[in-house]
Amino acid sequence: MLIKQKGIIIKTVDYGESDKIITILNEYGAKVPLMVRRAKKSKSGLQANTQLFVFGLFIYSKWKGMGTLSSVDVIEQNYHLRLDIYESSYASLCAETIDRSIENDEISQFSYKLLHFVLDKIKDGVSAQLMSVVVLIKCMTTFGFNAVFNQCVITGDRDQSKLIGYSFKFDGAISNHAKYQDTNALILSNKTLYLLDILQKLPISKMNALTIHHDIVDEMSQLMIMLYSEYAGMYFKSQKLINQLRRLDNPN
């Protein structure tokens, strides 16, 4: 059976000397693994068209088990993501999070919309690191946890100007008055917590202008990755490169 579906490549794995297996998130929100024969042979024409983040019309045959890719009509290469190692690493974090948030037999139309949204925003110049924060925050519940950013988890104080960090001991934001109860809390700007609360509650359809200072985005990113590690036991493959880039930026 020959099938035609629009989709975005969210995962690629080399298979043997010349083949690879790609996973597309199709337009219906389902993950589709496909074998790509001779993908690593430059003359095949599939080498460039089966890279991560390629958006296109995928034509493949499928009977039982994994399908086999026949051709790709590329709509958007998202080539810019392969030119900047910072953008690429955080875009990879987006793709990896969405991939791992969906079971193999699950359908999630929202996940497809979310991935499309972040790739379009990155193409328009929005920070890929900020977009990774959006993906991480929107996917939290699919990994079985949530986080409170808008009030002190200990005192219940809703004055966000008094919030000074996040407590993994008490599982939420803490205020200056409660800081003594968790000396190991991650200290953050109250603006960081305020903006995380907004991103958590705001639908992606309402996220029009996204401009946040780099230092704030750094804090948001650090906290979100720590939340996934603490509450979901997740370590992202793309995190290794992200950590290396951070060490280069902050050698001390």
pLDDT band, very low/low/confident/very high, at 84 (cuts 50, 70, 90): confident
Span 223-234, mean pLDDT? 94
State the distance between the two ends of the chain, measured CA to CA, in whole angstroms: 58
C-alpha distances in Å from residue 119, one per residue of 17, 86, 170, 186: 30, 14, 35, 30
pLDDT of residue 46: 81
37-75 pLDDT, tens digit each:
888 775 656 888 899 999 999 999 988 788 999 999 999
pLDDT band, very low/low/confident/very high, at 241 (cuts 50, 70, 90): confident
pLDDT of residue 251: 58
Q: Are strands 55-61 and 172-175 parallel, antiparallel or unpaired?
A: unpaired
Among 79-83, 99-103, 158-162, 187-191, name the one with the lowest average pLDDT.
Answer: 79-83
pLDDT of residue 248: 63
Span 188-203, mean pLDDT? 95
Burial (Cβ within 10 Å: 0-12, 13-18, ≥19) of residue 68: middle
Higher pLDDT among residues 240 and 226, named by residue: 226
Share of the chain above pLDDT 70, in %: 95
Q: Does residue 220 carry a pLDDT above 80?
A: yes
pLDDT of residue 63: 81
Alpha helices in the chain (DSSP H): 85-101, 109-123, 128-139, 190-201, 214-232, 237-249
CA angle 244, 247, 100 (to 5 degrees): 40
Span 25-47, mean pLDDT? 85
Burial (Cβ within 10 Å: 0-12, 13-18, ≥19) of residue 97: buried
- CATH, domain 2-77, list 2.30.30.140, 3.40.50.720, 2.40.50.140, 3.40.190.10: 2.40.50.140
For the chain, helix (H) and strand (E) counts, in that order, are 6, 8
DSSP states of 11-40: EEEEETTTEEEEEEEETTSBEEEEEETTTT
If one counts every other C-beta atom within 10 angstroms of the C-beta of residue 112, the result is 22
The mean predicted confidence, pLDDT, of the chain is 91
Q: What is the pTM of this model?
A: 0.90
Amino acid at 150: N
pLDDT band, very low/low/confident/very high, at 79 (cuts 50, 70, 90): confident
Span 217-240, mean pLDDT? 91
Q: Does residue 16 carry a pLDDT above 90?
A: no
113-162 pLDDT, tens digit each:
999 999 999 999 999 999 999 999 999 999 999 999 999 999 999 999 99
Chain-centroid distance of CA 27 in Å reads 18
pLDDT of residue 240: 78
pLDDT of residue 43: 60
pLDDT of residue 153: 95
